[in-house]
Amino acid sequence: MRTAARDTRGAAAIEFGIMVPLLSLMVVSVADIGLAVYRKMQVEEAAQAGAQYAIARGFDTSGISSAVTSATNSTAITASPGPVQFCGCPTSGGVSSVGCGTVCTGGAQAGTYATVSAQATYYTLINYQIVAATYTYNAQSTARLQ
């Protein structure tokens, strides 16, 4: 009996069998985080592509929406809510919406801007039980057209 208690043959195999599920979960979790970050980057890129379309070709709701949805290889990205055109004045905190024809501080006329939005939902690879199984990413890009 004493020799069986001191026998360590096969201990590595048992340790390996215990650690494999934990290591596998860690690998899948890291891959899942990477895919979620990639989806977020795709949404941001799609909003930028829509704004660039509006700058190059003018405000066209269907054209901008098409540019957003075709900006990446993901079919989950939508142009939601739809693109919006408005008049505004640049400020230190962004663009403030004003009536068209308004004179901004500094004497310049209010410009025409477009705000483009993109949205997509990411579904985790496995259900972790302690975090949400879905994440909705939104991005918005505003560009001056005139």
Give 55-87 pLDDT, tens digit per residue.
999 999 999 999 999 999 989 999 999 999 999
Mean pLDDT for the stretch of residues 88-112: 90
Give 23-44 pLDDT, tens digit per residue.
999 999 999 999 999 999 999 9
Q: For the sheet containing 111-123, what is the strand order?
A: 94-97, 84-91, 111-123, 134-144
Residues 27 and 85: their CA atoms lie apart, in Å, by: 45
Mean pLDDT estimate for the chain: 92
Crossing angle (nearest 10°) for helices 61-69 and 11-57 = 160
Q: For the chain, how are helix, strand and coil distributed in percent, rounded to 5?
A: 40, 25, 30
Q: State if pTM tops 0.85.
A: no
Report residue 129 as tokens. Answer: 């039980």
Per-residue model confidence (pLDDT) at position 98:
92
